[in-house]
Structure 1
């Protein structure tokens, strides 16, 4: 390493060469005293990221706002010049320094070599922790000043809220949540009035996905007890909530299935007798020309068939006893049922688009039950668009990271209202006039038994069901 005196260094100004020459703490500045490059340890000590320092005047980091010219003069006029550095919200750090003029293929640069940053060790550790916490921890964190402006936001919060950190910092929270109705905003102005919450469950939907959050908020006060701002911390518990809901649904489905299995025989026996006698009666009424009564008999027979179908769906809610799991090609299954889906779509004025994945991996599933799932989801989408027509899109996508095959069934119908979307997999819940409310519950049970998941999303226009099934292990 170079000695701590005034030096002129001849190099190409490349960062890797400078790093080899200056192996300690340093900043690179241009002739105007603006920071061109910040070594990561220096940025961390100041509670900032390297990219947050680039482009800033060096004077902003000094306690007494010393200009770069004054720093240069100090390096020439003293054998052990010192600086006091700080960033907003960070305690002052003192250091001895040297300045090196770097001449090379590019324009002239100056390297400010910092020999050692001294300060309150506890504060430095807290600063490092705060920087790492905001960047790496899997929590959403918002820091808000008394003017209800966003001072800092963590990377996780940016991802969940669907905002850019650069665009959000310094803006009013009203602007950050612009377009969201006041009553549905994640952060309210009442927070600064002392309205704190602990373990508050809240749902949030950005432009891409929906999250279930657990949120805490509180005030920040200075030494005199005055409000200095507030913080909001939230954790994404979507997977946990989803698991809880799946367990609850599975329990309900198992109970219904047990009841159905125990009573199906007793229900079907009298239904068979009633249906047989009605068929005889219907034939007799037709022969006698009693058209009106003949129609009544036909209606009763159709209702008996409907009851029988309902009992069959009940039985599917219990874990299927005759399933046959094997390694199958999901794409081949979809191609087999496409004619059925197309015929249904034509009847309702709907167009079907199939987007196949190139060479999708095999999965382990029951072929016939998987057909039932895709047909049911497709029929639901077609019926949702029946009034005005539309497009049903079936898309295969391979998730190499999670090692799953995802099949998306998307319609362009009116969508599912947010207050109903959590209920659509519940047994007996339906928005159809003649629906039983068991179709989606049965589909979810089938997919879960294959080790997969069935999810839904809707943004007010169109609905997407996603069937996700793990790859077959080699």
Structure 2
């Protein structure tokens, strides 16, 4: 290709729209003189013969500095090669393309150019007309959008958590490698299925999945829903589901991303920690329980000796003995339930009865330490949905801590209120008159292995807090040194 022809085809400088000299002479020159776009015309050999004043604003050149130069010499080298490779103006006399043009200060500016070849009656190229518009802002926005898309793609593909991408029809359009690795199904088995038809959702959880889908579609982000999913081999996993809306270039939602984090190991570790703490509490209570059992046994032995001596009034003694034996059975059963590992299972329970059983277990321990447990319950307390065993563990832990905080004795008040700021919750308080908790320690409560006790593990409060959170409740601690501590628990009621 000769220099004249190749330049003629690239004459359409990315910054130029050419207006014919004839049009200018016809009184239409005001268009090019006042246009914000750069307007040029060039000869077939690529030399610029006219450029509009807009070049000063866009590229910093005076028109005289540009006229007489070859337009293609101002282009970025990569765009010159692309112009030739893409055969611009080869198949048509009108074409549109983008390229970077060098500013007078040395940097490059993106332009979108529409060019037209003007021919004479013999079909020879007479001149090239072009108009170029600065699209730097648009290019910057496109690059930022592309970078965001690349980041999203990288986030999805490289994420260790299984991720599903849904379209507006709630069907799976793609998923990452972690999903296939975790659950076992391949792309051909999953892509195209509706979310509710996915094989990893247990049949009994379909109603829950329908409810979650409605929530996902109604809010921008859906976070932290704990549920279960199954693998292809039937193994059940505990997962934490989160989602966020995905938007297109127009800002409208065009789908959703679902993240299914496997927390099976985490849940098992938490359960192990709760069980370990329960055994620790049971061991610490053993001494107090021994005292609690010794008293009724002493009474029983005395009555047995009286009956052996031949006293006639045996019925009264038998009734007392039966009552004491029942008390022993109740204390031992409470201790065994506390120590026995159990699966988390919620039932509707009367928390007043639960607290009565706990105080029975701790009465002797409190009396030995010169502590009195006082209960203040509202007359009508609604039922709550709870795991009775775990909630007992929490109450025992807090009452025991209060007893230990009062080495000189005192009162522990257990309050149960049915009305608080949230009518759908009950309020449970443990109030002691102990030494209190310094402010710098109060902020660290719940950190594992942080404790002020010589024989403590620092896990008691952390485990108790986690149990309350598993019951969708909240816990707060208020304390003042040398005045006492109040632990306030809010638990949802069941309707």
Q: Give me the TM-score of the superposition, normalised by structure 2.
A: 0.32
